[in-house]
Amino acid sequence: MSSSLPRWRLLWSPPADGATHMAIDVAMVEAVAEGKAPPTVRFYCWEPPCLSLGRRQSVSEVDLQRCQAEGVEVVRRPTGGRAILHANELTYSVVFPETDLRAMGGVLETFRRFSEAFAHALRALGVSDVALAPRLDPVARGSGFVCFEVPTDYELTVNGRKIMGSAQWRHQGVVLQHGSLPLAGDPGAIARYLKNGPDPERLRRRTITLQEAAGRPVAFEEAAAAILEAFRSLLAIETQPGGLTPEEQARIPEWRERLSVLRRSEVGSM
Protein backbone atom coordinates (compact mmCIF):
# COMPACT_ATOMS: atom_id res chain seq x y z
CA MET A 1 0.00 0.00 0.00
CA SER A 2 1.60 3.26 -1.09
CA SER A 3 1.05 6.60 0.60
CA SER A 4 1.94 10.20 -0.11
CA LEU A 5 1.79 11.07 3.59
CA PRO A 6 4.95 12.01 5.50
CA ARG A 7 6.32 9.66 8.13
CA TRP A 8 3.96 9.00 10.99
CA ARG A 9 4.99 10.22 14.41
CA LEU A 10 5.99 7.43 16.81
CA LEU A 11 5.26 8.02 20.50
CA TRP A 12 6.60 5.86 23.31
CA SER A 13 4.53 7.00 26.26
CA PRO A 14 5.81 6.32 29.79
CA PRO A 15 3.57 4.31 32.14
CA ALA A 16 0.66 6.45 33.35
CA ASP A 17 -2.83 6.23 34.78
CA GLY A 18 -5.70 5.31 32.47
CA ALA A 19 -7.36 8.73 32.44
CA THR A 20 -4.11 10.30 31.25
CA HIS A 21 -3.71 7.75 28.47
CA MET A 22 -7.29 8.17 27.23
CA ALA A 23 -6.90 11.95 27.40
CA ILE A 24 -3.75 11.73 25.27
CA ASP A 25 -5.58 9.70 22.62
CA VAL A 26 -8.39 12.28 22.44
CA ALA A 27 -5.94 15.18 22.40
CA MET A 28 -4.15 13.58 19.45
CA VAL A 29 -7.44 13.18 17.57
CA GLU A 30 -8.25 16.87 18.03
CA ALA A 31 -4.75 17.98 17.04
CA VAL A 32 -4.70 15.82 13.90
CA ALA A 33 -8.18 17.11 12.97
CA GLU A 34 -6.89 20.69 13.20
CA GLY A 35 -3.76 19.93 11.20
CA LYS A 36 -1.57 20.59 14.25
CA ALA A 37 -0.14 17.08 14.56
CA PRO A 38 0.81 14.34 12.10
CA PRO A 39 -0.66 10.82 11.89
CA THR A 40 0.61 8.93 14.91
CA VAL A 41 1.41 5.48 16.24
CA ARG A 42 1.61 5.31 20.03
CA PHE A 43 2.54 2.51 22.44
CA TYR A 44 1.81 2.63 26.15
CA CYS A 45 1.13 0.67 29.33
CA TRP A 46 -1.00 1.39 32.40
CA GLU A 47 0.12 2.22 35.93
CA PRO A 48 -1.79 1.59 38.16
CA PRO A 49 -4.02 -1.16 36.70
CA CYS A 50 -7.16 0.26 35.15
CA LEU A 51 -10.62 -0.93 34.21
CA SER A 52 -11.68 0.83 31.02
CA LEU A 53 -15.30 1.00 29.90
CA GLY A 54 -16.57 1.42 26.37
CA ARG A 55 -18.07 4.76 25.41
CA ARG A 56 -21.66 3.64 26.09
CA GLN A 57 -21.21 1.08 28.86
CA SER A 58 -22.98 1.63 32.16
CA VAL A 59 -20.81 2.16 35.21
CA SER A 60 -23.52 0.46 37.31
CA GLU A 61 -21.94 -2.91 36.48
CA VAL A 62 -18.62 -1.92 38.09
CA ASP A 63 -17.78 -2.58 41.74
CA LEU A 64 -16.38 0.92 42.30
CA GLN A 65 -15.75 0.34 46.00
CA ARG A 66 -13.51 -2.65 45.31
CA CYS A 67 -11.72 -0.83 42.50
CA GLN A 68 -10.98 2.11 44.76
CA ALA A 69 -9.96 -0.08 47.70
CA GLU A 70 -7.55 -2.12 45.56
CA GLY A 71 -6.06 0.78 43.63
CA VAL A 72 -7.67 -0.04 40.28
CA GLU A 73 -8.57 3.05 38.29
CA VAL A 74 -11.78 3.22 36.27
CA VAL A 75 -11.87 5.22 33.06
CA ARG A 76 -14.21 5.68 30.12
CA ARG A 77 -12.73 5.22 26.67
CA PRO A 78 -13.67 7.54 23.78
CA THR A 79 -14.18 4.40 21.69
CA GLY A 80 -16.94 1.83 21.96
CA GLY A 81 -16.61 -1.80 22.90
CA ARG A 82 -16.65 -3.63 26.21
CA ALA A 83 -14.78 -3.52 29.50
CA ILE A 84 -11.07 -4.36 29.75
CA LEU A 85 -8.80 -4.70 32.77
CA HIS A 86 -5.47 -3.21 31.71
CA ALA A 87 -2.50 -4.57 33.64
CA ASN A 88 0.40 -6.51 32.11
CA GLU A 89 -0.17 -5.60 28.48
CA LEU A 90 0.92 -3.62 25.45
CA THR A 91 -1.59 -1.01 24.32
CA TYR A 92 -1.36 0.70 20.95
CA SER A 93 -3.19 3.60 19.37
CA VAL A 94 -3.17 4.91 15.83
CA VAL A 95 -4.58 8.32 14.87
CA PHE A 96 -4.85 9.41 11.25
CA PRO A 97 -7.20 11.25 8.86
CA GLU A 98 -10.18 9.47 7.33
CA THR A 99 -8.85 10.56 3.93
CA ASP A 100 -5.86 8.23 4.42
CA LEU A 101 -5.91 5.14 2.19
CA ARG A 102 -5.76 2.92 5.28
CA ALA A 103 -9.17 4.25 6.36
CA MET A 104 -10.87 3.55 3.05
CA GLY A 105 -13.89 1.25 3.08
CA GLY A 106 -15.14 2.18 6.52
CA VAL A 107 -14.64 0.91 10.05
CA LEU A 108 -14.60 -2.84 9.36
CA GLU A 109 -12.21 -2.58 6.44
CA THR A 110 -9.84 -0.52 8.57
CA PHE A 111 -10.12 -3.09 11.33
CA ARG A 112 -9.32 -5.86 8.87
CA ARG A 113 -6.24 -4.10 7.48
CA PHE A 114 -4.75 -3.46 10.89
CA SER A 115 -5.69 -6.93 12.17
CA GLU A 116 -3.79 -8.52 9.31
CA ALA A 117 -0.74 -6.49 10.34
CA PHE A 118 -1.15 -7.54 13.98
CA ALA A 119 -1.50 -11.18 12.91
CA HIS A 120 1.75 -10.84 10.92
CA ALA A 121 3.46 -9.43 14.02
CA LEU A 122 2.21 -12.22 16.28
CA ARG A 123 3.41 -14.87 13.85
CA ALA A 124 6.84 -13.21 13.88
CA LEU A 125 6.78 -13.53 17.67
CA GLY A 126 6.14 -17.27 17.43
CA VAL A 127 2.32 -17.46 17.55
CA SER A 128 1.64 -19.83 14.68
CA ASP A 129 -2.12 -20.38 15.02
CA VAL A 130 -3.31 -16.77 15.01
CA ALA A 131 -6.38 -16.03 12.88
CA LEU A 132 -8.85 -13.23 12.20
CA ALA A 133 -12.25 -13.87 13.76
CA PRO A 134 -15.12 -14.12 11.26
CA ARG A 135 -17.83 -11.50 11.08
CA LEU A 136 -20.71 -12.28 13.44
CA ASP A 137 -24.23 -10.96 13.76
CA PRO A 138 -25.04 -9.28 17.11
CA VAL A 139 -27.01 -12.29 18.37
CA ALA A 140 -24.07 -14.64 17.82
CA ARG A 141 -21.71 -12.17 19.50
CA GLY A 142 -23.80 -12.03 22.67
CA SER A 143 -24.28 -9.24 25.18
CA GLY A 144 -21.45 -9.81 27.67
CA PHE A 145 -19.87 -6.88 29.48
CA VAL A 146 -16.23 -7.97 29.05
CA CYS A 147 -14.23 -7.35 25.86
CA PHE A 148 -12.27 -10.59 25.93
CA GLU A 149 -15.33 -12.84 26.39
CA VAL A 150 -15.80 -13.08 22.63
CA PRO A 151 -13.94 -11.75 19.57
CA THR A 152 -15.70 -9.22 17.38
CA ASP A 153 -15.31 -8.84 13.61
CA TYR A 154 -11.72 -9.41 12.46
CA GLU A 155 -10.21 -9.43 15.96
CA LEU A 156 -7.42 -11.93 16.57
CA THR A 157 -7.78 -15.41 18.02
CA VAL A 158 -5.47 -18.33 18.71
CA ASN A 159 -7.26 -21.66 18.42
CA GLY A 160 -10.52 -19.83 19.01
CA ARG A 161 -9.30 -17.90 22.07
CA LYS A 162 -9.14 -14.12 21.83
CA ILE A 163 -5.65 -12.64 22.10
CA MET A 164 -6.19 -9.00 21.14
CA GLY A 165 -9.06 -6.52 21.44
CA SER A 166 -9.43 -3.22 19.57
CA ALA A 167 -11.96 -0.42 19.22
CA GLN A 168 -12.33 2.51 16.83
CA TRP A 169 -13.76 6.04 16.94
CA ARG A 170 -14.14 8.41 14.01
CA HIS A 171 -14.41 12.07 14.96
CA GLN A 172 -13.96 15.32 13.03
CA GLY A 173 -12.62 13.41 10.03
CA VAL A 174 -10.03 11.51 12.07
CA VAL A 175 -9.71 7.80 12.94
CA LEU A 176 -8.66 6.71 16.42
CA GLN A 177 -8.11 2.99 16.81
CA HIS A 178 -6.59 1.59 19.96
CA GLY A 179 -6.30 -1.87 21.39
CA SER A 180 -4.98 -4.20 24.06
CA LEU A 181 -2.54 -7.11 23.73
CA PRO A 182 -2.24 -8.96 27.08
CA LEU A 183 1.39 -9.98 27.52
CA ALA A 184 0.83 -12.19 30.58
CA GLY A 185 -1.34 -12.42 33.67
CA ASP A 186 -4.79 -13.76 34.57
CA PRO A 187 -7.52 -13.19 31.96
CA GLY A 188 -10.15 -13.93 34.61
CA ALA A 189 -9.06 -11.16 37.00
CA ILE A 190 -11.51 -8.61 35.58
CA ALA A 191 -14.46 -10.52 37.04
CA ARG A 192 -13.35 -9.46 40.52
CA TYR A 193 -14.19 -5.83 39.74
CA LEU A 194 -17.65 -6.33 38.26
CA LYS A 195 -20.84 -6.75 40.27
CA ASN A 196 -22.30 -9.42 38.00
CA GLY A 197 -19.19 -10.42 36.15
CA PRO A 198 -18.67 -13.51 34.01
CA ASP A 199 -17.28 -16.73 35.40
CA PRO A 200 -13.49 -16.24 35.65
CA GLU A 201 -12.87 -19.79 34.44
CA ARG A 202 -14.94 -19.13 31.34
CA LEU A 203 -12.86 -16.04 30.61
CA ARG A 204 -9.66 -18.07 30.99
CA ARG A 205 -10.97 -20.61 28.47
CA ARG A 206 -11.90 -17.88 25.99
CA THR A 207 -8.82 -15.67 26.30
CA ILE A 208 -5.12 -16.26 25.81
CA THR A 209 -2.12 -14.10 26.68
CA LEU A 210 0.86 -13.58 24.39
CA GLN A 211 3.07 -15.49 26.81
CA GLU A 212 0.84 -18.56 26.67
CA ALA A 213 0.34 -18.33 22.90
CA ALA A 214 4.06 -17.89 22.14
CA GLY A 215 5.20 -20.39 24.77
CA ARG A 216 7.62 -17.84 26.26
CA PRO A 217 7.61 -14.41 27.90
CA VAL A 218 7.55 -11.57 25.35
CA ALA A 219 8.71 -8.15 26.48
CA PHE A 220 6.74 -4.99 25.72
CA GLU A 221 9.55 -3.66 23.52
CA GLU A 222 9.81 -6.85 21.47
CA ALA A 223 6.07 -6.95 20.82
CA ALA A 224 6.02 -3.28 19.83
CA ALA A 225 8.95 -3.75 17.46
CA ALA A 226 7.16 -6.64 15.74
CA ILE A 227 4.05 -4.48 15.29
CA LEU A 228 6.06 -1.60 13.84
CA GLU A 229 7.70 -3.94 11.35
CA ALA A 230 4.29 -5.30 10.32
CA PHE A 231 2.96 -1.76 9.91
CA ARG A 232 5.93 -0.95 7.69
CA SER A 233 5.78 -4.04 5.53
CA LEU A 234 2.00 -4.47 5.21
CA LEU A 235 0.62 -0.93 5.60
CA ALA A 236 3.56 1.18 4.36
CA ILE A 237 3.61 3.10 7.63
CA GLU A 238 7.06 4.56 8.18
CA THR A 239 7.53 6.12 11.59
CA GLN A 240 9.78 8.73 13.15
CA PRO A 241 10.10 9.14 16.96
CA GLY A 242 8.55 12.34 18.27
CA GLY A 243 6.73 13.89 21.20
CA LEU A 244 3.41 15.47 22.01
CA THR A 245 2.98 19.05 20.83
CA PRO A 246 2.33 21.90 23.30
CA GLU A 247 -1.24 22.09 21.95
CA GLU A 248 -1.82 18.40 22.73
CA GLN A 249 -0.28 18.74 26.18
CA ALA A 250 -2.62 21.64 26.94
CA ARG A 251 -5.72 19.55 26.14
CA ILE A 252 -4.84 16.62 28.40
CA PRO A 253 -5.91 17.93 31.85
CA GLU A 254 -9.51 18.69 30.81
CA TRP A 255 -9.98 15.36 29.06
CA ARG A 256 -8.36 13.54 31.95
CA GLU A 257 -11.02 14.86 34.31
CA ARG A 258 -13.85 14.12 31.88
CA LEU A 259 -12.83 10.50 31.24
CA SER A 260 -11.94 9.41 34.78
CA VAL A 261 -14.94 7.64 36.32
CA LEU A 262 -13.62 7.67 39.89
CA ARG A 263 -13.06 11.44 39.77
CA ARG A 264 -16.57 12.23 38.54
CA SER A 265 -20.04 12.14 40.03
CA GLU A 266 -20.48 8.58 38.78
CA VAL A 267 -18.66 7.51 41.94
CA GLY A 268 -21.48 9.01 44.00
CA SER A 269 -23.27 5.65 44.09
CA MET A 270 -20.48 4.19 46.24
Cα separation, 181 vs 162, whole angstroms? 10
Q: In sequence order, what E strands does the chain have?
A: 8-12, 40-44, 50-53, 73-76, 84-86, 89-97, 130-132, 156-158, 161-171, 174-182, 239-241
Helices then strands (H, E): number in the chain? 8, 11
**In a 3-state reduction of DSSP, which class is residue 48?**
coil
CA distances from 184 to 37, 167, 172, 207, 217 (A): 33, 21, 36, 11, 8
CA-nearest of 77, 105, 108, 104 to 93 is 77
Q: In sequence order, what E strands does 4-87 have?
A: 8-12, 40-44, 50-53, 73-76, 84-86
With beta carbons less than 8 A apart as the criterion, state whether 54 and 22 touch.
Answer: no
Q: Is 50 a known active-site residue? A: no
Q: Which residues pair with 75 in a beta bridge?
A: 52, 260
Active-site residue, selected from the candidate residues 45, 50, 67, 147: 147
Q: Kindly list the catalytic residues.
A: 147
